[in-house]
Structure 1
Amino acid sequence: MTDETRFSVESDRQPDRTFYLPDLGEGLTEAEIVAWRVAVGDVVGVDEVVVDVETAKATVEVPCPHAGRVTELHGAVGTVVDVGAPLITVATAEAAPEAAADSGAVLVGYGTGNATLARRARRRAAHAATAAADVATAAGAAAMSGAPGAPRVLSPVVRRLARDRGVDVRVLAGSGPGGVILRRDVEAATATGATTANGATTANGAAADHVEPAVFSAQPQRTSHPTPSTQREPLRGVRRAIADKLARSRREIPDATTWVDVDATALVEARDTLRAAAPDRPVGLLALLGRITVAALGRFPELNASVEHDGDDLVLVRHGSVGLGFAAQTGHGLVVPVVHDAQLLSTAELAAELARLTDAARAGTLTPAQLTGGTFTLNNYGVFGVDGSTPIVNHPEAALLGVGRIVDKPWVVDGALAVRKVTQLSLTFDHRVCDGGVAGGFLRYVADCVESPLGLLLDL
């Protein structure tokens, strides 16, 4: 199906209209659904924002060019959708009165119902352009015609880049089709220092006409001693999802934390021995800690659980398998991939799965299935150079094991002082699912296995 077919106005005889994920510009080919603004059965108007999607570069609010009643949402929150794939379907037979009106918006390379925008889409396809289009409002039309001082409405990625670098897009000469400002225009202005948000000069060095701020407010004139300003930024995308989950955990889970210092010398030696014995199947400390955690959950199944709401009742659910989540810091924020059925994997298999999921997390290619289904989380915050923490339980799980950095410290071994590799383990747990005895027993078992990894052989 061609872009022209997908984005053209359907016949009045066709009651259902499907809107496809548009070209988000800058070479992006997919986006993740962050939040739906509508549900099946809702009535939407022309150009009403229906979904927030997150690309590798920004979170974008996507308006629907059709008006009517929502009949289908093509993807749940967390789903990665390819450009050109179905996004939402509406039935126009029950549309609101404004349904007959043509949409006036253009979001980064997609057209809506009228013939002018359809022709623009055909021109973009013919010229293989990847640039974003201006919004087809009066202000946008003025900008496209070159009117002095007209506001430039451009892609969120370019707009944010300009704001962060202090570039005033109102005086830039865009190199895209019809004068649209692209990323390279902002970067060029930053490199030359010719155009700044204080409106001193244009891109070619000429004096800029004074205009009222349109896209964002101009920054004040800089001085030799700039005064820090308060900045406000809404939480969206990954950060919003993390914030909501952590806040819910704090609201619903009465957590407690217990911790212990342990001698991890033998654990480090075990890792080195395994690496030397099987260099083609590398096993790291995280894999060994994961193996220990799974064994501990076998002994203390109370912690492989969650509390669910059943109406006004609370139900304790004890899980039959271990979904071992582990915290991974990426350029997009903190994510928790899950190793499903971790109790069925060998140490080498667990190490390989941890490595695979870590690579996917850093590449931003984790699927929703790989981010859900966790029953217990392992958090190695020692990689940040800290010794201890009281982390928040990953809702709806019942507990989280934290591991601090491993450092050389004085330690008493067989009555004599020695330098050993010491770390701190902490367990944060939902006090509704167990008491301190169970939590302490779990943590002590983990600590004993860290200090004597060969003890695991007794349970394998």
Structure 2
Amino acid sequence: MPQVLEFKLPDLGEGLTEAEIVRWLVEVGDVVAIDQPVVEVETAKAMVEVPCPYGGVVTARFGEEGAELPVGAPLLTVAVGSVESSVTGAGSGAGAAEAEPSGSGNVLVGYGTGAPPVRRRRVRPEGLSAPVAAGVGAAAAVASATAAPGEAAVSGRGADGVRGPVAVVSPLVRKLARQHDLDLRQLAGTGPDGLILRADVESAIRSAAAAPVAAPVGTSAATPAALPAAAVGRTAAPGGPAARPVGERIPLRGVRGAVADKLARSRREIPDATCWVDADATELMAARAAMNGAGGPGAGQKVSVLALLARICTAALARYPELNSMVDVEAREIVRLPEVHLGFAAQTERGLVVPVVRDAQARNVESIGAEIARLTEAARTGTLKPAELTGGTFTLNNYGVFGVDGSTPIINHPEAAMLGVGRIVPKPWVHEGELAVRRVVQLSLTFDHRVCDGGTAGGFLRYVADCVEQPAVLLRTL
């Protein structure tokens, strides 16, 4: 008889606590191999395909697409062992499936390593009665153990018409019900074996909102007391909870939620200040054109302005290491960091992300440019790994691509500084004593005033501006 094992959402790295199910890659009844991706999830940092550490038959899936699950919540159950014994009439025909070993070759927090992956095969649904039943039972047990008091099991009706305990698996379903004061015991689930789904809760919420509000005795139906709260504005009834404002609601979760949390924390904890300067970037642009027009090794790879600015930043941080640091609040110490892990802001369809170029201080312009290009493409396709989005020590923010000249960026906590770069545009400029049209850029530095004073920040920014105006200055530090 197969043994039903439960696979829980693992810690995907960097202390992530939750993930949203984007797309299931397997269905109940599939035969999965060890380390086969079974679900695609979106964490606060990236899109990740989660491999299953067990091989066998999928007996249950927990959570609908779009549901948010905490780390440690069940993802699916797998019947591991002799699959043939659970497949009626399988023999050597198309419905047969070989037994899978149960160890994982992919390192996941909480799971071991083992055999290499093999291909999955589908088993005929009629042969899955035993594993599926076991999986549903496991789901009910897990939900009963993890749900809040009064929500572990609710009364519902299964496919056979018999009422009994129904598992509420998704934490999102429970949370949604709590937010709208719904009693899950009063809902009949439409999922497998009466499972209450998110759609069931949302349907109940809509029904409650559409229900007429009874007027108090002696109150005319035309008075505000007889109208829904949304019809009379935000004013709540005396002694009651404040009415929620009416409008489109967009959940702060995934990448957007992570950005919101980090920016809010930065504003709360970091006493930041900003200084800025205009710089003549004409010579820098000419130097870039000369680099891209020259032949020789690496001539096929174009040098970007961002790569040049990144190399200038690493040279400036070598001179002003105070800005490549962080503050240990508990120890009341400034920690100066030996390596420069340079983050750069990248706007994607999923929101703002900050990929990190590791050990940027040891790279030349071509190496930095190639890594920026690779990370940018991964950001656009949503394939950045969590480790590629964390651990930055300094951030370069090129908001000039949005057609703006200046900004006061928020520091990427827990870093100590961020350099902002505006658009490079032709402007009147006094050059060698005469008025001329030059290509001008505004540079701004936002810094943590705990790690340095204005003199250090001004020195850093002035050095960056000097390198922009006279790229030969950078040759001294190469």
What TM-score do you get using the length of structure 1 for normalisation? Answer: 0.59
Match for 1:412 among 430, 441, 444?
430
Equivalent residue, structure 1, for 2:165: none
> Secondary structure at 2:418's aligned position in 1?
strand
What is the alpha-carbon distance in structure 1 between the residues aligned to residue 203 and residue 42 of structure 2?
Answer: 32
Bigger Rg, which one: 2
What is the alpha-carbon distance in structure 1 between the residues aligned to residue 156 and residue 440 of structure 2?
Answer: 64
Within a 5 Å distance, the mapping from 1:9-408 to structure 2 comes to 18-19=7-8, 25=23, 27=25, 29-34=39-44, 58=66, 60-61=68-69, 64=73, 116=133, 118=135, 213-214=203-204, 216=206, 230-277=247-294, 278-310=298-330, 313-408=331-426
Match for 2:446 among 417, 420, 428?
428
Relative to structure 1, the CA distance from residue 7 to residue 34 in structure 2 (aligned partners, 3 Å threshold; closer, same or farther) is farther
What is the alpha-carbon distance in structure 2 between the residues aligned to residue 23 and residue 372 of structure 1?
Answer: 22
> Secondary structure at 1:446's aligned position in 2?
helix
> Secondary structure at 1:214's aligned position in 2?
helix
Equivalent residue, structure 1, for 2:455: 437
Query: CA deviation digits over 1:256-300, x for unaligned, max 9?
Result: 000011111111112221111254122100000000000001111
**AA paired with 2:269?**
E
Match for 1:452 among 470, 473, 478?
470
Shift of 1:448: 0.7
What is the alpha-carbon distance in structure 2 between the residues aligned to residue 279 and residue 256 of structure 1?
Answer: 41
Shift of 1:61: 2.8
Q: Do the aligned residues in 1 keep the contact of 2:396 with 2:420 (CA within 8 Å)?
A: yes
Relative to structure 1, the CA distance from residue 249 to residue 380 in structure 2 (aligned partners, 3 Å threshold; closer, same or farther) is same
**AA paired with 1:214?**
A
What TM-score do you get using the length of structure 2 for normalisation? Answer: 0.57
Relative to structure 1, the CA distance from residue 24 to residue 116 in structure 2 (aligned partners, 3 Å threshold; closer, same or farther) is farther
**AA paired with 2:40?**
E
Kindly, what percent of the aligned residue pairs are identical? 56
Q: Do the aligned residues in 2 keep the contact of 1:399 with 1:430 (CA within 8 Å)?
A: yes
Shift of 1:26: 5.4
Relative to structure 1, the CA distance from residue 299 to residue 120 in structure 2 (aligned partners, 3 Å threshold; closer, same or farther) is same
Q: Do the aligned residues in 2 keep the contact of 1:296 with 1:442 (CA within 8 Å)?
A: yes
What is the alpha-carbon distance in structure 1 between the residues aligned to residue 5 and residue 23 of structure 2?
Answer: 16
Relative to structure 1, the CA distance from residue 295 to residue 115 in structure 2 (aligned partners, 3 Å threshold; closer, same or farther) is closer
Q: Do the aligned residues in 2 keep the contact of 1:59 with 1:236 (CA within 8 Å)?
A: no
Query: CA deviation digits over 1:96-153, x for unaligned, max 9?
Result: xxxxxxxxxxxxxxx9x995474899xxxxxxxxxxxxxx9767858x99xxxxxxx9
Query: CA deviation digits over 1:175-234, x for unaligned, max 9?
Result: x999x9xxxxxxxxxxxxxxxxxxxxxxxxxxxxxxx942646999xxxxxx99512333
Relative to structure 1, the CA distance from residue 346 to residue 139 in structure 2 (aligned partners, 3 Å threshold; closer, same or farther) is same
Q: Do the aligned residues in 1 keep the contact of 2:24 with 2:39 (CA within 8 Å)?
A: no
What is the alpha-carbon distance in structure 2 between the residues aligned to residue 252 and residue 20 of structure 1?
Answer: 32
Q: Do the aligned residues in 2 keep the contact of 1:264 with 1:421 (CA within 8 Å)?
A: yes
Relative to structure 1, the CA distance from residue 411 to residue 369 in structure 2 (aligned partners, 3 Å threshold; closer, same or farther) is same
Shift of 1:423: 1.0
**AA paired with 1:398?**
A
Q: Give the unaligned 5+ runs of structure 2.
A: 11-19, 26-37, 46-61, 76-103, 112-127, 139-152, 162-168, 173-189, 196-201, 211-232, 234-244
Q: Do the aligned residues in 1 keep the contact of 2:24 with 2:40 (CA within 8 Å)?
A: no
Q: Do the aligned residues in 2 keep the contact of 1:257 with 1:390 (CA within 8 Å)?
A: yes
Relative to structure 1, the CA distance from residue 24 to residue 298 in structure 2 (aligned partners, 3 Å threshold; closer, same or farther) is closer
Q: Do the aligned residues in 2 keep the contact of 1:7 with 1:19 (CA within 8 Å)?
A: no
Shift of 1:350: 0.9
What is the alpha-carbon distance in structure 2 between the residues aligned to residue 217 and residue 263 of structure 1?
Answer: 63
Q: Do the aligned residues in 2 keep the contact of 1:19 with 1:86 (CA within 8 Å)?
A: no
Shift of 1:366: 1.6
Relative to structure 1, the CA distance from residue 364 to residue 23 in structure 2 (aligned partners, 3 Å threshold; closer, same or farther) is closer
CA RMSD across the alignment: 4.6
Relative to structure 1, the CA distance from residue 87 to residue 271 in structure 2 (aligned partners, 3 Å threshold; closer, same or farther) is same
Query: CA deviation digits over 1:48-69, x for unaligned, max 9?
Result: xxxx99x9x8462368469xxx
Shift of 1:455: 1.7
Shift of 1:336: 1.0
